[in-house]
Chain A
Amino acid sequence: MDRVFWATCPACMKAFIVNWELRHAGRQLICPYCGKRFLPDEAAALDERV
């Protein structure tokens, strides 16, 4: 695992960690806190620092 990012759920505003393979894969993430499905670009915030 070389790179990760953090996504903040647009529904519950909690952040969780995601493998970089999902950043541009066109797949919806699943918030582990509330179950909301959303694309990375729909996140309330992204932390993509390397």
Chain B
Amino acid sequence: MLETRSRGGREVSAGAPKSLGAYLDRIRHDPAEFRTVSRRIVPQSFEVTAVLEHLHLRKEFPTVFFENPLDVHGNPSRFPLVSNLWATRERCADMLEIPRTKAGRELGPLYAELVDQKREPIIVSEAPVQANVLRGDDADMHLLPVVRHFEMDLGPVLTMALAMREPDETFYNITFVKTFPETGRRGGLTIHSAHMSRMTRAWERRGRPFPVINILGHHPAFWLGSMASTPWGDNEYATVGGFLREPLRLVPSVTWGKDFLVPADAEIVIEGEIDAVERTIVDPFGEISRQYQPQELAPVMHVKAITYRDGAIMQDIFSGHPEHMLLGSIPREGSLMRHLRQTVGDNVTAVHVPLSGVGRFVAYISLKKTSEGQPKLAALQAIAQAANLQTVVVVDDDIDVFNEEDVLWAVNTYVDPARDVDLIKNLRPPSDPRGLGSSRLLIDATRPTHKAFPTRLRVPPEVMARIKLEEWLDPVGQEGR
């Protein structure tokens, strides 16, 4: 049964709460930022990811808006689909209202500042996301344009986040979790994060079904904020308010009322219950490491309702590609920078968690070294703070950590492997599907200062400043006259 309520139009007015549609309106006129696919497309047949992969191979990273996808039943979906939203650092900065010119080394620390600017959510009684309500057999996930991403994937997968509340508490956790719809009303959930796993175990000990929601679209700052590393007990609905720069609006769910609040300005929300004991087969799935997560057992969600705003847009993430990686790397750069400033000192100048390490496994750190051994201390602090890091490279401040060629030059020029490379064994394995074990690699690629050592060549800076290239090069076509 479809209930249509009068509220919740797609139009956006000044002062309206932030929404995905409003953000897309900001970028839709720039072809470098936004492209559309208006022809019919079959997400379950890899056609969405084929379009995105072609763009990736051309090194073009627009948000792509698929206007006419089919749903899992093979019918035209009522929901358009958007993907590749977070694929550039500049666009991520823009989403957070940070100047695009600060998308380099400044972005991580500016992100970290937003983590502290929590805003308590506000509760409203009516919400755009509940303009349309599907219940019973009509609450069918197969009405959605669910994407099958990679050839070994078990099937189409919803890639956005779940929200869950701790039992007997009022704080919520928001975590990206894959949902594998087995049928329209039942799906497996790959819950791996520490906080949501802890909540799940607490609910399961009670032996009864418990509530969860799947949020399938919101303003992009909502998602960036959901990736913040926060302590257990923090209400992540308040955290994302800091990133939205306005309180997150919440509304009682249609299934549990005030016992479970859902984001009022989301695009689509699935309300479901997780069975306390049931497990089902999920995966393989092409994951962040650009490898397949192995087939495994996972909890089962039974769908109770699907609600959506008028003109709702469904979001998807192009897994294992820049948007997936940047969603994690920018928050990690911020939290690492903050931790290193506190534990090593203000001489730590930049942190980059590069895409070559999929935004998770490698960190480049630059500092103004004050003593031999300090780079190793910084590397140890980094692996203590970020459990997924496998390799840490520390360089001098004159090396640009956002220029990988520069970093590797330092590694290949300053590093004596016998002295400057350390292997740390028998740590907890990184939480990732690679199965590489439990060791870490620390590389001190700073210029040795404990002995006489060559220095880096350079053209004198004052001459570089004096020579303006456009004044010295002959105009094209007038060479040698």
Contact = CB atoms under 8 A, between A and B. Distances in A.
7 contacts: A1-B432, A1-B435, A2-B435, A4-B294, A19-B294, A22-B297, A32-B153
B74 interface: no
Interface string B269-293: 0000000000001011000000010
A24 interface: no
Given A2-B435, A30-B281, A32-B154, 7 more contacts: A17-B294, A18-B294, A19-B295, A21-B296, A29-B281, A30-B295, A32-B152
Interface string A22-50: 10010111101100000000000000000
B433 interface: yes
Contacts of A33: 152
Contacts of B296: 18-19, 21-22
A28 B295 CA distance: 11
Contacts of A17: 152, 284, 292, 294-295
Interface of B: 152-155, 281, 283-284, 292, 294-297, 429, 432-433, 435
A2 B155 CA distance: 24
A30 B294 contact: no
A3 B435 contact: yes
Contacts of A19: 283, 294-296
A22 B284 CA distance: 13
A48 B394 CA distance: 38
4 tightest Cβ-Cβ pairs between the two chains A and B: A19-B296, A19-B294, A18-B295, A17-B294
Nearest to B279: A27
A23 to B, nearest CB: 11
Contacts, number: 48
Nearest to A4: B294
A48 to B, nearest CB: 13
A22 B292 CA distance: 16
A1 B294 contact: yes
Contacts of A1: 294, 429, 432-433, 435
Contacts of A3: 435
B429 A22 contact: no
B281 A2 contact: no
A16 B281 contact: no
B284 A16 contact: yes
A34 B50 CA distance: 21
B294 A27 contact: no
Contacts of A16: 152, 284, 292, 295
A1 B430 CA distance: 9
B147 to A, nearest CB: 15
B155 A32 contact: yes
Contacts of A32: 152-155, 284, 295
A26 to B, nearest CB: 11
With a 10 A CB-CB cut-off, give which of B155, B433, B435 has the most chain A CB atoms: B435
Nearest to B282: A30
B183 to A, nearest CB: 14
A18 B292 CA distance: 10
With a 10 A CB-CB cut-off, give which of A3, A16, A21 has the most chain B CB atoms: A16
A29 B294 contact: no
A4 to B, nearest CB: 5
Nearest to A20: B294
A12 to B, nearest CB: 12
A28 to B, nearest CB: 8
Given A2-B435, A3-B435, A29 B295 contact: yes
Contact of A21 (B154, B155, B297): B297
With a 10 A CB-CB cut-off, give which of B152, B155, B429 has the most chain A CB atoms: B152
A3 B105 CA distance: 37
B459 to A, nearest CB: 50
Given A19-B294, A21-B297, A30-B154, A4 B281 contact: no
Contacts of B297: 21-22, 25, 27
Contacts of A30: 154, 281, 295
Contacts of B281: 22, 27-30
Contacts of A21: 296-297
A2 B437 CA distance: 7
B89 to A, nearest CB: 30
Contacts of A4: 294, 435
A33 B148 CA distance: 12
Nearest to A7: B295
B72 to A, nearest CB: 14
